[in-house]
Every structure is written in structure tokens, then in C-alpha cells.
Structure 1
Amino acid sequence: MDLFMPLVDKPLEELYVYEGRNPKPADHAEYWDRAIAEMKSVDPQIELIRSQFQVPYAECFDLYFTGVRGARIHAKYLKPLQAAEPHPAVVQFHGYSGNAGDWQDKLQYVALGYSVFSMDCRGQGGHSEDSGGVKGTTLNGHIIRGLNGNPDDLLFRHIFLDTAQLAGIAMSMPEVDPERVGAMGGSQGGALTIACAALEPRIKRLAPVFPFLSDYRRVWEMDLAKDAYAELRTFFRYFDPQHERENEIFTKLGYIDIQYLADRIQGEVLMGVGLSDTVCPPSTQFAAYNKIKAPKQVELFPDFGHEHLPGFNDKTMQFLLKL
């Protein structure tokens, strides 16, 4: 595909073969196998509370479950009333610092006969808890939360597990066909979509958009540790001002680098990338995309950055309709 575009990152032919710069921990596989075992040992204590928001063709619930380390996690759960059972479902994930959003924007999938589960990330803008318990700084961000302690305490480890746990809960609902569950989200939500499908490989289709949380060292080397990644610079300035621990720090971040989870995905992938993105640089997104072994396709938007990608929501819906 020949594209003429502003060059904010690598040329397109290099993006398609780029393998990432952030170091991968030697025990990465064991780390996540141990994490999944911890998640599966948790009694989720699922609670459904009928929401004040209701529409004639769906039931809407606030869903709560217990995640790892005891945090109560909240998701919005919408169930179509007239759909055949079992029917497909979609799990949705939001951008960094945000929340699950309004009920009404999920009804488009409910109208198609899908149940929808939209999660609040722990400790961000919704109702999910951050149960704490880490040593070291928690200033200004979730990427660095737990970075000065045991990597098993990294907050994004727990958030990644929350996504897989929610998907498993969705698949356990009697009205949901566990073989027809998809995942979607943009930015942080794109990263969580990838993490969810990696840690819960029964996800059949996933549509991440400009995923965050990938290839941290590349972000640093591009001098883009600002905006969503600003906490990386803050962490170094306060806790390693001469970068004496640089390799150790980036290696520990490798546990929560989505590029190293991507090869676990078994479902089909549709990914959207803005090639002018200076928040989540295209190379960091391709570092993850290139490691996906499952069927995949990427939709490119040369003149767009970290913003709405025109038409991609329509492509996503058509893609998920094949569930």
C-alpha cells in the first residue's frame, strides 16, 4: 500500500517489521501464568443491581465483582430483552483516567442483539476500587504504581487481570454464547482489549484502536514521555535522575507491556492506527500488532493522530457483527 504521509515516526515499510525496543523480562510467561492462577483463585462475589436507567428493549445493571487483591470492580451490563439466547456479547474498555461512560452509547450493540459489558478501570474515573498496597510512589499515574516494589504488585497487572475476569464473567452468563464474545476499546481501552484477549483467549474478535501501554522505551527514546506517558519522565526525574536503573526500570515495565502479551491472542484482530499519532506513536502500536499470530488486519489513517478515526467505528461494528 503506497501512502504519502507526514513522517512523525518510522516509514510504513519499517513499521510493518518493527519488533519493539522495550526489554522483555526473562520470566514473562511465568509471571502471567502465576497472575492468571491468582485471578482464577478469587471468589468474584458477583452482584447485579438494576440501574435507574432503563429502555424498553434492554435491561441495564450495575455489575460488581471482586478482582485480585480484593478490589471491587464495577461494569455496566446491558442485556437485550428480545434477543435469542444464547447470544453474542461485547466487552468494552475506556481510555486512560476515564470511565465506562453513559448507558446510551452502548445501546447500538444491544439493538443488534448483543449483551454489553463496559468496565470501569480500578482507581480511575469510575466506580471501581484501587485497593492500594504498593511500596513507593503513586504520584501522577498508574503505569508507575508499584514500579519501585515487587512486579507482582504493578497496578496494570491487576487491571489487565480485571479485563480477563470480566470477559470470563460475561461468558458465564446463561444468556451469552461463550464462543461469540468480542472486545473493543481505544487508547488505554485498546491496550486493555489486547490484554483481555491475551489473558482470556476465548475472545473471538477484538478491535483495538491506537493502543496505549506498548514499547515504553521507544516512547522514551522518541522524547514523547509526555501527555499520557508523562509519568515515565516524572518517575525518572524523582527516583533515577541519572538513569542508573534505566534498564531495570524498563525491564520491569516489560511485564505490563502489551506487545509481549500479543502472541497469546487467538481471536481475529481488527486494529485502527493513526499514523500521525504523537501520544501513542505508531511504532509502539506496531510493536504489538506485529507479534499477533492470529488472523489480523490494520486500518491506517495517515493524517490522523490520537483522535476519532473517521469510519473506524463503522468498520468495527461490521467486524463484530460476524460474531
Structure 2
Amino acid sequence: MPVIDMPLDKLYTYEGRNPKPADFKGYWERALKEMHAVVPDMEIKQAAFRVPFADCYDLYFTGVDGARIHVKYIQPHELPAGVDKFPALLEFHGYSMDSGDWSSKLAYAAAGFAVFAMDVRGQGGTSSDPGGVFGNTLQGHVTRGLQDGPDSLFYRSVYLDTVQLADLVMNMNSIDENRVNTTGFSQGGALALVCAALEPRIRRTAAVYPFLSDFLRIWEMDLDVEAYQDLRRHFRRFDPVHSQKDEVFRRLGYIDIQHFMPWVKAEVLMGTGLIDTVCPPSTQFAAFNKLHTVKQIVTFPDFAHERLPGMHDRIWEFMTRGTQT
């Protein structure tokens, strides 16, 4: 089979390259404290989209830094048999994209799940990204805030948005707080995992080729292009002789998803293509290997950062398992 990274046996033992900051735990404890102090001012409006078996809503809440976050919310009319509250699925999208079409979420709603699909601030959807502009602020998201200090990192805010959404959902009277799950592909996979790490009540997480893992490995593989082009752009513009390299990757360690994985209590299903040059397999395994929970990774030897045949069906079976009990 084609090989762009380590052999498979090496992947299963790879522990990652990017350093973990010494104060990582304290950093995220402070961040969560800041998030919990925010008044979310949640608003739910009937959406224009209609289906006969569920209600569709636009949900908004205020996140850290005053961002107004938009979520597509679908709640079925009828509870699954044998339960008195709805299980929920939190869905996160890929880098630069948005929460997707309403119709793409209807299968889970038809199965009795309340579905919540979040627009990441400043990307393709309608969530705001405060800072003087409205709309897309995509360029530089991976490294944004790097020069201002760790508390200014863009993904710090996005990770907190996912946890805030989970907390809001778990506090809804119609939702079973013990049956809230997360899923996503690429950036969405990273957010699904981090949400489960920072909100330990998440029950199941399905993450496919997760982004935002092991930045130093990406850089050393010369794959700081496409989704990771911000790394190369940062060094070319702000550190052309790499005098600050060690500090750059130390700071990026605060948002490196591999360092969150020991905190995950959810059952985890992952999927990865072994010739993925956007999110190389070793970076994904750096996260997978740090999970100390029930976990499975499905590998696709001849596939890259693309559709992985059958993966959506595997996620469906994983998420719907036991929903009638």
C-alpha cells in the first residue's frame, strides 16, 4: 500500500512531538472558569426549514469575548421508545466550512436524537467573531493570537464554545444529560474530541481524521500547507530565521488536541486514511494513543483526507447503539 507516514505498527506506539506546556491543566481550568462566568443569553427561534416529524430552530448563545454563536437545532416530535428524554448529538464542521444543510441531520432526528450543529465563529456560518469586522476572518486561525500570548489563541475560544454548547444542551429539560454525544470530521473531529475532554459527561465521540494535533510533527514533515499553511505563513512573516520556534510550538501546545485526550471519558470511535497529507496519520494517532477510555480506530490504507467509504454508517451504528434501552 502507499506510505506517506510511519508504518502502521509504529503509528500505534507514536506519542507525538509537539510539547505540552507545563501549566496546561491550570490554563484550561482558568479558561473554563472564564467561560462559566459568561451569561449565555440563549435564544431559540423557529427556523424557516420545516419537516413533518421534528421542529427546526436557530439557537444562539453568547460565548467568551462576546461572540454570538449560531447553532442549528432539530428536536423530534416523539421520544424514542422506552425513554423520557431525548439523547443528543452535537455536530461540528470542518475547517472554513459551516454547520451544513438541515437535511443532512434528519436521519439522527428521525432516530429520536435532538441534533445541534454549531457554526464555528468567523468561518463559513453565521457565528460572529468579535474584533471589528463581521463575517469571514478565516486566514490565520491556527496561529491567531500567538504573538499576543496563550490567552489570545483563537482556538481557545472555539474550544470553549463547544463546551458551552454542551452545557447548555445538558441543562435543557428535554435532553438526557447522560446521553449527549459529539461528532465531526477534520476540524469537527478535533472539536468533538476536545469537547468530550473538557465536558466529561459526553457519552460517545466519533471523530474522523481530526485536525489540530501535533503541530511540530506537521512542520517537520513539511506539510504546513493546505489546512496548516498558517504555520508556514507565520514563520515567513514573523520569524524568518526561526529564532522563536521553540516558543511558537510551546504556545501551540495549549490548543494541541493530543494533550486533552487523557481527560476524555467518552467512548471514542475514530477513522483515518493512511495516506492523508492534510492531517497526517501520525498526528491523529498521537491523539488516539493518549486516550485512556474505550476506543477504536478504523484505518483506510488507500484513502486520504476524503470520503471514507462506510464511515458514516459505522458512526450511525456507534451512536444509535442502545438508544432503545
TM-score interval, smaller chain? over 0.9
Aligned partner of 1:9 among 5, 19, 22 = 5
Deviates more, 1:141-150 or 1:82-91: 82-91
Q: Which residue does the alignment assign to 1:208?
A: 207
Cα distance in structure 2, aligned partners of 1:131 and 1:180:
33
For 2:58, the aligned partner's letter is: D
Q: Which residue does the alignment assign to 1:88?
A: 87
Cα distance in structure 2, aligned partners of 1:168 and 1:311:
31
Cα distance in structure 2, aligned partners of 1:205 and 1:21:
27
Cα distance in structure 2, aligned partners of 1:197 and 1:226:
28
Q: What are the residue-to-residue correspondences of 1:151-170 with 2, within 5 Å?
A: 151-170=150-169
Percent identity between matched residues is 57
Q: What are the residue-to-residue correspondences of 1:158-197 with 2, within 5 Å?
A: 158-197=157-196
Cα distance in structure 1, aligned partners of 2:197 and 2:131:
25
Q: What are the residue-to-residue correspondences of 1:114-129 with 2, within 5 Å?
A: 114-129=113-128
For 1:305, the aligned partner's letter is: A
Cα distance in structure 1, aligned partners of 2:297 and 2:149:
36
**Residues 1:22 and 2:18 aligned together:** yes
For 1:122, the aligned partner's letter is: R
For 1:318, the aligned partner's letter is: E
**Residues 1:237 and 2:236 aligned together:** yes
Cα distance in structure 2, aligned partners of 1:163 and 1:72:
13
The DSSP-based 3-state class of the residue aligned with 2:146 is coil
Q: Is this contact kept in 1: 2:92–2:117, CA < 8 A?
A: yes
Unaligned runs of 5+ in 1: none
Aligned partner of 1:36 among 23, 32, 45 = 32
Q: Which residue does the alignment assign to 2:66?
A: 70
- TM-superposition CA deviations, 1:111-145 (whole Å, max 9, x none): 00000000000010101111138xxxx88220111
- TM-superposition CA deviations, 1:95-121 (whole Å, max 9, x none): 000000110010000000000000000
- TM-superposition CA deviations, 1:54-89 (whole Å, max 9, x none): 111000000000001111100000000012530200
* TM-score, normalised relative to structure 2: 0.95
The DSSP-based 3-state class of the residue aligned with 2:147 is coil
RMSD: 1.1
**Residues 1:247 and 2:243 aligned together:** no
Cα distance in structure 2, aligned partners of 1:6 and 1:150:
40
- TM-superposition CA deviations, 1:271-298 (whole Å, max 9, x none): 0010010000000000000001111000
Q: Which residue does the alignment assign to 2:271?
A: 272
The DSSP-based 3-state class of the residue aligned with 1:64 is strand
Cα distance in structure 1, aligned partners of 2:121 and 2:239:
27
For 1:285, the aligned partner's letter is: Q
**Residues 1:56 and 2:52 aligned together:** yes
Cα distance in structure 1, aligned partners of 2:128 and 2:6:
39
Q: Which residue does the alignment assign to 2:99?
A: 100
Q: Is this contact kept in 1: 2:96–2:138, CA < 8 A?
A: no
Cα distance in structure 2, aligned partners of 1:209 and 1:264:
19
Cα distance in structure 2, aligned partners of 1:218 and 1:33:
27
Cα distance in structure 2, aligned partners of 1:140 and 1:76:
25
For 1:159, the aligned partner's letter is: V
Deviates more, 1:166-175 or 1:155-164: 166-175
- TM-superposition CA deviations, 1:129-165 (whole Å, max 9, x none): 11138xxxx8822011101012111110000010111
